Amino acid sequence: MQVELLEVNDPDFEFLHGELNVERLNKVHNLLWLAGRPMPPRPLHYQRASGREIVITEQMSLHLLWGHGKMYLKPIPRYLLDYAFWRDKIQCSQRQLYGCALGFLLSYVALIQYESDFHIAQEHRLVPPNLSFARWRAFVKSLLADRSSTYVDVNERYLFGELRLNRLNLIYRFALGSWRGYVYPYQQYSQFFIDNLTPILSFIGYVAIVLTAMQVGLATDRLAGNIHFQRVCYGFTVFSILGPPALVGFVFCRFRHFDRARGRNGPSP
């Protein structure tokens, strides 16, 4: 890299580690294929055309995650566009941070491919305000000058682009045993009940259809005297009486956990 774009303050190692590390995603790297494809993220104009709202996050662990119609993106810090920073700070001395920083910038190479993408990035303050599209293209050209080493050094998280937040939550819950998941998804009570009660209502509708079919079956001469069918009807009737209240009770137990977690940890993205 030989293009110096901006003058920036000199960040220290602890700050850089907090800003750039993606350890939480590296921890489940072998399962990331369940949450996304091993390909670069699609450009910003595509994200907008897909109806996704671009949401700013300062947590690198949330960069390129999407769900509920939102795409979380971390803005490019000024220091990552400074050649002296790469030369003096992390290119040789901090290889792990180098891989994280390089992968992060490569994600923006994919996100900002056209001038329209650059304007969207400016609109959402994803790039510094005094950065021009011409200077951005020069920076990208410099960044990709040595392709043979560029992708070898990148952190493995950035081998994947966009990741589904709901699938990451499932990976964390089932693979790591974390009830909260990767990011606790609910910020409003209404969203919690919609997501958790809607499947139960669908299930109750299916149960009602089955019970109606059983009632019709019992009204026929052939099935009315069938002891096996009567046993099935009896068992399913008991299940239909006890099952839905049990599921609703489980949802309210989850709600109590959600309410405590929300109060203890505050809102999450």
User: For 134-168, how does the pLDDT look when each residue is reduced to its tens digit (9 = 90+)?
Assistant: 999 998 988 888 665 566 778 999 999 999 998 99
Place of tokens 């590296």: 26
pLDDT higher than 90, residue 93 = no
Q: Quick one: pLDDT at residue 266?
A: 45
Give the confidence band of 8 by pLDDT, cuts at 50, 70, 90. very low
Picking from 164, 155, 160, 162, the residue whose alpha carbon sits closest to that of residue 182 is 164
Place of tokens 């947590």: 59
Dist. CA 4–CA 126, nearest whole Å = 19
Give the count of beta carbons closer than 10 Å to the beta carbon of residue 147: 9
When the pLDDT of each residue in the chain is averaged and rounded to a whole number, the result is 83
Q: Quick one: pLDDT at residue 106?
A: 93
